[in-house]
Amino acid sequence: MTSSRQAAVIIGANGGIGGALADALDDEGAFATVHRLARSAHGDAHIDLQDEASIEAAAKRIEALEMPVTLIICASGLLHDGGKQPEKALRDLDADWLMQNYAVNAIGPALVAKHFLPLMPRKERCVFAAISARVGSISDNRLGGWHGYRASKAALNMLIRNIAIEWSRRNERSIAVALHPGTVDTALSTPFQGNVQPGKLFSPERAAMQLLDVLDELRPVDTGKLFAWDGQEITP
């Protein structure tokens, strides 16, 4: 995807998709370093999207290594947590759960952009991507429900658009996109796999390769958009 003297950053690298993305990039050998960051990691690999100080500290650690970062993928996400599940109706709304959805799915990636984009070159092709979801598309919403997840992913899509506009003024070769990976066989999707069509439940390894293929094909004109795993643009 780029030269061997550059670095990639995967945030959420202890998750199913994030780990598979990091493994795939390591296998390709296109980057000198693939930084694997996660909330559950320790030491220099630790990052917590609900703690801006943690995000800033992680960015400074990588900046100190003085190797340009040309790919950042934020693969963290929240859909359910213990007894907390996606809301089926308005009666299920809970303010704290809504705020947690926004904190992880939208605010966290935005703060990653705030602190990590300054690490990227100003004149080279650079890509910032965040894992979103088709259900975050307002125009594609036919079923309702899942209020917090849908709304937080819609917010992420808007933030990506804003980031893309601002960043293109700094680097006209920059690309910032949201990605819909499809339904991937991870802990996030496990409770909801019953209605997945045959052949549409992807392994993390396949999902990672599909997403990297999509990123490889993107051009600056694509910045600010939401793309599915098959390269099709999704209307937000």
CATH number of the structural domain spanning residue 101: 3.40.50.720
The arithmetic mean of pLDDT across residues 82-94, rounded, is: 95
Could you tell me if residue 2 is inside a domain? no
Chain CA centroid to CA 224, Å: 13
- Domain contains 1: no
Domain that holds residue 219: 7-234
Residue 1 pLDDT > 70, yes or no?
no
Give me the residue label for tokens 């700094």.
Answer: 170
What sign does the CA torsion over 88, 89, 92, 96 have? positive
Whole-number average pLDDT of the chain? 95
pLDDT band at 4 (very low <50, low <70, confident <90, very high): low
Number of domains in the chain: 1
Q: What is the pLDDT of residue 236?
A: 86
Is there a domain that residue 155 lies in?
Answer: yes
**Does residue 187 belong to any structural domain of this protein?**
yes
In a 13 Å sphere around the CA of 100, the CA atoms on its Cβ side amount to 12
**Stretch 80-85: mean pLDDT:** 92
